[in-house]
Each structure stands twice: as structure tokens, then as C-alpha cells.
Structure 1
Amino acid sequence: DYVQVNEGERQSAVKFGDIFFTTSSEIIDEVGMSSVLLDEAETLYLNSFCFGFRLNDFEVLTPQFAEHLLRSESSRRKISKLGQGATRYNLSKKQLTNLEFEIPPINEQIKIASVLSNADTIIGQVSKQITRLKSEKKALMQQLLTGKRRVKIDEDAA
């Protein structure tokens, strides 16, 4: 949603490559969930429900690789272990900055990110197709159950 930023009000503008983490969650596995801004955005600001990190250059870590690295199972385990709380889990930015991750060379990051992004695209397309086919199946079953459609049995095949 859009918010009004009043004159003199300080806001943190975000830009391409910024990495965001949720600060709290009701579920320990979701605390510190990350997102990376991979689009050029104008007048977009960081909200109070997350904190961000800005990569100073992309010579050590590419945003496209960071997107996959920080959502990987091993990274998520490291991050969620930092969550503290009982009914609501919170994440300390200071603790998060102390985490270390193994990062391959830039040329490998680019290749890995490309393969994973392509796989995500294919998975998304297949998921949409599965959803469409399930909906079609449901409609056909409804037609069969109401008698609007009949099944003809081939006597020779039986």
C-alpha cells in the first residue's frame, strides 16, 4: 500500500540489490525470512516490519545469488536458530550480521543463480498447470455426478 511521507520525515529508500529480512514471526521457521530487490524501484521505502542490508558492490555477492542463498535450507536453519521468543519470535539484526555463509566466486554465483531462477520459473509454470488441471477435473467430476455428462463404455475394450 502507499503511505504518505511527510516533509522532514526520515525514511530509508531502497534500491536494486537490497536484502530484506522480517524482524518477527509467530512461527520460528519464518523469522528472518529474506527477500532481495531485483527490480529498479523509484520512491520505495523500507517498512518497520523488516530490516535491510545494502550490498556496497556486487563483486563479492550478486543479488540474484543472494536471493537463492538466503532462502536455501541450510541458510534458513542458521537464521531461524537466531529467533528468540515464546509466542512471537524476534530476530536481532546484530546477531544476523554475525552469521557467515560460504560464497562461491562471482562467475559461479551467476551460473548457479541462472539455473535456480530457470528452475523456479519452470516450477511456477507446472504449478499453474496442475492447478488448472485440478480445477478442470473438479468441473468434470461435478458434471458426471449431476448427470450432465455421461461416460460411454466401449464394449469391445471391456
Structure 2
Amino acid sequence: MSSINETLYATLTINYKTSFNEIGCDYGGLTGKSVEDFGKGKPFITYLNVYQNQIITDYNFDYVEIRDRENQNKVRKGDLLFTLSSETPEEAGYSAVYMGDAKELYLNSFCFGIHIPESEMVYPPYMGYLTSTSYFRRKIIPYAQGSTRFNLHKPSLMSMKFSLPAKENQIKIFNTLQLIAKKISTEQEILSNFTQQRNYLLTKLFI
């Protein structure tokens, strides 16, 4: 998937130079929580969910208690999510787009989100694939600050200029990669079923 994403991006004409400050607004993850607040309550997106995926849907959530009148930022469909902290600068600022339908969803405190409304220039779901390209990764690594633990400097990321293909091409790339991802998922499920069937038949041979 990553190599296909790289190839599709590299073959396109770049039409826009922009920054996250120009196309969206950022917000922070959960604040003021203790260990006792987790394991029950409302769903939130974990650090690992952002780190391991480019597209996040409504699964692999953890839960946190949100009290009445508590002021916490909610994740909306199409939001671009970033990890803030990592053990190496190369792993800082991993990102994913939330494409689920949860009405009340929160974000891990070691992450932040960017709400990007759809416009003539931007197709928000594509941003999860753009920010995983080597082109984009090279640009944000210098903003990872620290010595033993590295933290992404959010203001620098928000103002950093980057290149976007035309919106129609963003949509084409997103749809193409989604079809490939679904195909891979289907093949993996078939393989898993065959493996279970084989193991079952093998146990019957030795009865």
C-alpha cells in the first residue's frame, strides 16, 4: 500500500501550496484525566490507533469517563489526527483520518486533531494518505524536538507549507487505495478461513 501511495503521489501534477493553518483548525486531546477515569464511559481514539493506521473507523476504541459539563474536544468525521510524542524523531507525527460515524468520540492526550472542512482545494479523507508519504514525512521530522523523548512542535507543523494535487486527483487516489485496502482485507480473511479449515482437518486425521 505505501509504495502504491508513493507512486500515485509522485506521478501527479502539484496544483497547490498550502498549510494546515490555511485549510483547518487544530484541537487537543483529552485533558485532566487520571487512571481511574479509563476503562468505562465514552469511546476515545488511542495513540496506537493513530500510529498504526491511515484511516480510522469505528473499532479499536478505548473508553474514558466524561462527566457532565466537562469541556473536552470531540473528534469529527474527516478530522486528521497526529501523534505528538515518540521515542525517535522518525516516528513523530504519525497520522490518520477518522472516517467513522460516532456521535461522541474523543482523542488520546498524546495526540491532537485538525478539523479540515471540505473545500474546492481539499478532500479531507485523502489527507491520511498524503501525510504518510515520504515527501511529507521528511518535512515534519525536523519539528520533532527532544533528546530521550521527542515531541512534535505543533505550531511549526500547522504553519509548514506542503504541496497538494488537485482535489479531483485527491479523490481518485483515496478511492483507489481504499479499494486495494478492502481487497487485501478480503484476501486475508479468506486465508484465515482456509488456515482454520486446514487445522481442523488435520486434527481429524489423527483421531
- Shorter-chain TM-score tier: 0.7 to 0.9
CA distance in 1, matches of 2:197, 2:161: 47
Residue 29 of structure 1 is aligned with which of 63, 77, 90? 90
Structure exhibiting the larger radius of gyration computed from Cα positions = 1
- The Cα shift of 1:122 comes to 3.0
Higher relative contact order by CA 8 Å / sep ≥ 6: 1 or 2?
A: 2
Partner residue of 1:73? 134
Aligned residues: 144
Q: How does 1:97-136 map to 2 (within 5 A)?
A: 97-126=158-187
CA distance in 2, matches of 1:57, 1:23: 24
How big is the alpha-carbon RMSD for the aligned residues of Structure 1 and Structure 2? 2.6
Instruction: Kindly provide the CA deviation profile for residues 49-90 of structure 1, in whole angstroms up to 9, marking residues without a partner as x.
Output: 101110133432112211110111211221222111122110
Q: Is the 8 A contact 1:22 1:50 kept in 2?
A: yes
Gaps of 5+ in 2: 1-61
Question: What is the TM-score with the length of structure 1 in the denominator?
Answer: 0.75
Q: Is the 8 A contact 2:117 2:124 kept in 1?
A: no
CA distance in 1, matches of 2:77, 2:85: 24
Partner residue of 2:65? 4
Partner residue of 1:83? 144
Residue 64 of structure 1 is aligned with which of 96, 109, 125? 125
SS in 1 for 2:143: coil
SS in 2 for 1:102: strand
Q: Which amino acid letter does the alignment assign opposite residue 80 of structure 2? A: I
- The Cα shift of 1:136 comes to 9.2
Q: How does 1:33-52 map to 2 (within 5 A)?
A: 33-52=94-113
Q: Which amino acid letter does the alignment assign opposite residue 34 of structure 1? A: S
CA distance in 2, matches of 1:24, 1:131: 35
CA distance in 2, matches of 1:136, 1:102: 48
Identity %: 36
CA distance in 1, matches of 2:142, 2:184: 29
Determine which structure has the larger strand proportion and give its number. Answer: 2
Q: Which amino acid letter does the alignment assign opposite residue 88 of structure 1? A: R
Question: What is the TM-score with the length of structure 2 in the denominator?
Answer: 0.59
Shift of the 27–127 alpha-carbon distance from structure 1 to 2, 3 Å rule, reads farther
Gaps of 5+ in 1: 149-158
Partner residue of 1:152? none
Q: Is the 8 A contact 2:86 2:149 kept in 1?
A: yes
